[in-house]
A = this chain, B = another copy of it.
Amino acid sequence: MQELDERKRKILNAIIRNYLDTGEPVGSRTISKYSDLNLSSATIRNEMSDLEELGYILQPHTSAGRIPSDKGYRFYVDNLIVEKDREVTEMKEFMIEHTERVEQVLQQMAKALAANTNYTAMITAPSYQRNKVKFLQLSQVDEEQLLAVIVTEGNLVKNKMISTREALDNETLLKLNILLNSSLNGLSADQINLATIARLKEQAGIHSNIVSDVLDALAGAFQEDEELEVYTSGTTNILKYPELSDSQKASELLNAFEEKKQLVSLVNEALSSGEQTGIQVYIGDESPIQNMKDCSVVTATYQIGEGMQGTIGIIGPKRMDYENVMDNLKTLKSQLDLVFQKNKGE
């Protein structure tokens, strides 16, 4: 049995769509004229009264129109949006030649997304944790400094300086390089366990302390960035929506965007949520970030084979254009998959 009959659904749909457009409470008369139901405003009023009782819409104050409640939005997102199977288009012009520079691609993407939707876009670099090491090299930069360079499957490059007590001779360096490469190649960060490390150290002999340093550096390189690598764009777009732009809320939100750490919880939530291929919608209080209780957040997860994945998110007012946003995310997601696929070098 359905809680809402056909007519109620139509009316709810009309209310929400109208509210998405205008941001103003919508009255019975508007619906009566706007929709194709051919009902008088009085009838609509009765239905609206029912819908309110059921919790789908609410009145900001007596004798104002109605606005959708969180439950209303939820119903809309789940049931009323027509899935468009839009082909991958647009945004192609934003695709970049220099796919080597991951940060730039991502920043660019975020920008395009923000511009396209008029909301705030965020996008995280693919998680390195599960990414596999493909190439590793130690070089003597000067007397007291080694440089470790690590290249992973997706052609992501990390580097780290290591201070040493004294310079190593060429031969030792070569040996270490071979050792490291042969031992670590193909492993992901969370696959490098104590056993591997012990074996590695043993083989390194008197240079085991250097191996230690390298591993530390490696762990550090993988981890340190994890926090920072969130790209945002269009943060100021929220100022365009009166319901978010009062000093108090705007400030909190913008802060959350600046302190990218806060966004990480969003990402984690998205990554851990069951349906990994799909698109996640958080309405109001559903969001894992408290500051965003007046917003809606839509996230998508993109993948680069082998469990390496990142998150794209759009943050906007609750009355965001969910259809458009979800569409955009979907196409971007597939594009990202493509880019990294191609880049993966086959």
What is A's interface to B at a CB cutoff of 8 Å?
98, 100-101, 103-104, 107, 134-135, 137, 139, 141-142, 144-145, 147, 149, 151, 155, 157, 159-161, 220, 224, 228, 233-236, 239, 245, 247, 250-251, 254-255, 258, 345
- Majority-rule SS of A interface residues: mixed
CA distance A345 to B143 in the complex (A): 9
B224 touches A236 (CB 8 A): no
Chain B residues whose CB sits within 8 angstroms of the CB of A254 once the complex forms: 235-236, 239, 254
Chain B residues whose CB sits within 8 angstroms of the CB of A100 once the complex forms: 160-161
B134 touches A142 (CB 8 A): yes
Copies in the complex: 2
Chain B residues whose CB sits within 8 angstroms of the CB of A224 once the complex forms: 98, 101, 104
Chain B residues whose CB sits within 8 angstroms of the CB of A139 once the complex forms: 135, 137, 149
A149 touches B151 (CB 8 A): no
Nearest CB in chain B: distance from A251 CB, A: 5
Chain B residues whose CB sits within 8 angstroms of the CB of A103 once the complex forms: 228
21 contacts between A and B (CB under 8 A): A98-B220, A100-B160, A100-B161, A101-B224, A134-B142, A135-B139, A137-B137, A137-B139, A139-B149, A141-B155, A147-B149, A147-B151, A149-B149, A157-B161, A159-B159, A234-B258, A235-B254, A236-B254, A239-B247, A239-B250, A254-B254
